[in-house]
Amino acid sequence: MPPVRILADDLESIGSNRFIDGTPESEAGRNPGGPETREPMLDTLHATRYVTPLREGGSLPALVEADDDGLYVLKFCGAGQGRKALIAELLAGELARAIGLPVPRLAFMDLDPVLGRNEPDSEIRALLEASAGLNLAMDYLPGSITFDSLANAIDARLASEIVWFDAYIMNVDRTARNTNMLIWHKKLYLIDHGASLFFHHQWQSAEEKIESPFPAIKNHALLKEASEISEAGNSLKAKITNGMIRELVSLIPEEWLAGEALFSATEIHRERYVQFFERRLAISHLFEEEAIRARNEL
């Protein structure tokens, strides 16, 4: 079987070809996301049924059903890195969508811990109890497969945009071992951005990380295909405005920002994310040069 070739132009049709029982999803009242479908605010759904754990994820995400009858991959605020991982998922995912990269639809999801009262697995039951309140859900893409560079040829511009984006958000988790990309209906989707923005786990040393050239880009799954990094950077930088950054950061729920001892108010905490994105953009030439250098050394 010849490889499926994924082109940047293919992204224009994402969001228009999803089907539920043979019905285009746009007609069924839901949308899997895509660059042309970005909304200024995320929906808030309510979990109605815990379906099954997805144990391949380190934070033990799960497949759940929501009150819109849809299935979602739910990331829990009580797992692993907690709310910081959800903040990274939210900001990276919605930024990707805003600049035209393909990501599944995201939604806030309210979880009642009573959902797990009959769960026999004590680890899962404890996770559900610790995750009461607002969590983050990603649209489930049934039948999707993991991106494989041997089976899926990717357009150089799209690969370059993804490499630039991951360097910008400092995403260390899109490697050949774990691509965190899915193919669904012959379209590419980026998933699992919880490991990005890792500076926020140690705010005291965040300043020195903001201007990092991000040498970890040498391990990126698409670096070999990314032959247009400078051109991709010019295109994406033109799309990222101060207004866009502030709109994205405004999406972070207050409760996810609360409790950070370093900040006396959540708005100060929120502003630090704005400053990160603005300053990182201003020094983008550093991580662009690093990505090009790393690619030349492959």
Question: What pLDDT, in 10s, does the model give residues 248-268?
Answer: 999 999 999 998 989 999 999
Higher pLDDT, 104 or 210: 104
Q: For the chain, what percent of residues have pLDDT higher than 90?
A: 72
Assign 282 a pLDDT band (cuts: 50, 70, 90): very high
- How many whole angstroms separate alpha carbon 64 and alpha carbon 50? 5
Is residue 1 predicted with pLDDT exceeding 70? no
Q: Where are the domains of the chain?
A: 4-139, 145-296
Looking at per-residue pLDDT, the higher value among 28 and 148 belongs to 148
Q: For residue 220, what is the DSSP state?
A: B
Per-residue confidence (pLDDT) for residue 126, from 0 to 100: 92
Mean pLDDT of the chain: 87
**What pLDDT is attached to residue 57?**
58
Whole-number Å distance between alpha carbons of 83 and 89: 10
**Taking the mean position of all CA atoms in its chain, how far away is CA 176?**
18
pLDDT class for 24, splitting at 50, 70, 90? Answer: very low
Q: What digits encode the pLDDT tens for the residues 269-278?
A: 999 999 999 9
Mean pLDDT of 142-151: 91
Under a CB-based contact definition with an 8 Å cutoff, are residues 237 and 95 in contact?
A: no
State the Cα–Cα distance between residues 136 and 152, nearest whole angstrom: 29
With 0-12 / 13-18 / 19 or more C-beta atoms within 10 angstroms meaning exposed / middle / buried, residue 35 is middle
Query: Can you say how many angstroms the Cα of residue 185 is from the centroid of all Cα atoms in its chain?
Result: 19
Q: Compute the average pLDDT of residues 194-205.
A: 90
62-118 residue pLDDT tens: 999 999 999 999 999 999 888 999 999 999 999 999 999 999 999 999 999 888 888
Pick left, alpha or beta for residue 272 (phi over 0 → left; psi -120 to 50 → alpha; otherwise beta): alpha
Q: How far apart are CA 131 and CA 107, in angstroms?
A: 16
Among 22, 14, 291, smallest CA distance to 159 is for: 291
Q: Please report, for residues 27, 67, 94, 206, the alpha-carbon distance to residue 21 in angstroms, rounded to integers and kept in the order given.
A: 12, 18, 28, 47
CA dist 193 to 55, 86, 94, Å? 17, 9, 11
